[in-house]
Amino acid sequence: MNNLLKASITFFLPLAFLGCSKTANKIETKVKEVSDPTFGNIAFNLTQKDFEEKGFNYDDLMKFTIHDYNNQGDDLSFEAAFVKNYNEVGYFAPCLCNYGGTNESPEISFGIMPQKDNADSLLDKSVTIEMVKKQGYRATRELVNVATKLTYEELGRDNLAFANFRDVTDVGSIAEYIKAGQLYRGSSPFNSKNNPDNRDYVADVYLGVEEIENEISLADTDAKIEEYMSSISSKRPNSNTLRLYNESKGKEGANKSFFSVCLASDYYTTSIPNKNGNLVKQVFEYFADRSSKDYESFYFHCNEGKDRTGFFAMVLEALMGVPLEDLVADAMLTFKNYYNVSIVNNKEKYDALANLLIYRHIYSILIDNPSEQLGKINWYNFNAKEEVENIISNNQDSLKDKAEKYLLNVLGVEEEKIQAIQDWLKPDNALIFN
């Protein structure tokens, strides 16, 4: 596969460089510091102005080479786009990022490259920065850029769309593979900071309307959730999310109706063994244990119900044999709810977003060794949709088989727990599932 680069690895790091030597469209410098230890980002002493003076600017596609990165004489090279937000390059990809265009010094964000976890070892390493293509990322960035979320009024006062709230079986043929009324997804019912204009309140109301019995939160720390719940208790004491949260106090594991893990923005690396306590595995194990207690329904969310929620939904839907087109349609419905992007009104943008986001998620569960393979891909020369379709059409394993192997072999979820999830989610007509 041409997309797997033998000599490159891809990560999310901010770099800081000392002793800079600059020539036209080329900079020789050094890694100065790790600016964000949580994500392994490294920062330069190169300012935005320094880059601009040497002909580098936003939307340029650049090549970074870290010399002797492993202390064995080997160089590490990777391509990265110059952007204002790492979300603009999609899942997994590295980038040179000046967050919001407000920082004095741009940083390298390594994405899923393994170096993000040992960035300290790169300090003082020599780095060469070169131009790959001037404005080489502009067309893609403009295509996948989405505007401000639609307001309640712009959505025609559609409460469900506003809260991005849905039963996953409302999409396509999913009801043939998953029992209706059991699996719901959407935005946070308590995070008012990331969900302004009372979006959190609307999601909370629908927890009650649908009589949902269990809630899985994928985005916040225990301390942050406690802060949100304290605020809710005074503002809306009859809150449904508050009730589930209070019912779970003092309880452990599958005895809790409110379960939470804090998956950071690099949550996809938590699906790799030994990364961050393998939090993704914990979510699926809780889901298996709790669902075996004959509860009727679950609502899972992150902040917006888009990225982390989308990954969780994608794995579960694939596990149940949902066709690829419906799996993608469910994920992309979020972009219609928030930005009015659909296959009908803007197919080009729809396809670009699906390729940059949804199909990369799907690809990550189709390969045998994601912890090794994902970090070697040049994501700026990678068509995830084509790769996914090729794997599915040229492999004896179905999408469902691949999802089972991902949970079993990559995450390490026990076979009986995987079976418990399938038994609980399958529709009453088991013949359809089989």
Give me the residues paired with residue 64 across strands: 78, 129
In degrees, rounded to 5, the angle at the alpha carbon of residue 217 between the alpha carbons of residues 216 and 222 is 120
3-state helix, strand, coil in the chain (%, to 5): 45, 15, 40
pLDDT of residue 271: 58
Helix (H) or strand (E) holding 61: strand 61-66
Q: What is the pLDDT of residue 37?
A: 63
Q: How far apart are CA 324 and CA 393, in angstroms?
A: 11
Give the Cα separation of 290 and 300 in Å (integer).
13
Tokens representing 306 are 């888009």
3-state DSSP assignment of residue 417 = helix
Exposed, middle or buried, 177 (CB in 10 Å: 0-12/13-18/19+)?
A: buried
CATH 3.30.300.130 correct for 21-141: no
First to last CA, the chain: 33
Q: What is the DSSP letter of 150?
A: P
Helices in 292-396 by DSSP H: which ranges? 308-319, 324-339, 347-353, 359-366, 370-373, 384-393
Q: Using an 8 Å Cβ cutoff, are 217 and 259 in contact?
A: yes
Q: What is the pLDDT of residue 431?
A: 47
- Closest by CA to 257, choosing from 209, 195, 309, 207, is 207
pLDDT value of position 183: 97
Q: What is the full DSSP assignment across 95-114?
A: EEE-GGG--SS-EEE-TT-G
Structure tokens at 236: 């809306």
User: How far is Cα 148 from Cα 160, in angstroms, rounded to an integer?
Assistant: 18
- DSSP secondary structure code for residue 67 in this structure: T
Contact 359, 377 (CB under 8 A): no
The CATH class of 159-433 is alpha beta
CA distance 417 to 409: 13
Q: Which of 197, 85, 109, 117 is nearest to 150 (CA)?
A: 197
Contact of 178 with 317, CB cutoff 8 Å: yes
Measured in degrees and rounded to the nearest 5, phi and psi for residue 143 equal -70, -40
pLDDT in tens, the chain (434 residues): 444 433 343 433 343 444 455 555 899 998 988 877 666 688 788 888 999 999 999 999 999 999 999 999 999 999 999 999 888 999 999 999 987 666 678 999 888 887 777 788 899 999 999 999 999 999 999 999 987 788 889 888 899 999 999 999 999 999 999 999 999 999 999 998 887 788 999 999 999 999 999 999 999 889 999 999 999 999 999 999 999 999 999 998 889 999 999 887 666 666 555 455 488 899 999 999 998 877 789 999 999 999 999 999 999 999 999 999 999 999 999 999 999 999 999 999 999 999 999 999 999 999 988 878 888 899 999 999 999 999 999 988 899 999 999 999 989 999 999 999 999 999 986 544 44
pTM for the structure as a whole: 0.89
88's tokens = 């603009």
DSSP 45: S
Q: Domain ranges for the chain, please list them.
A: 21-141, 159-433
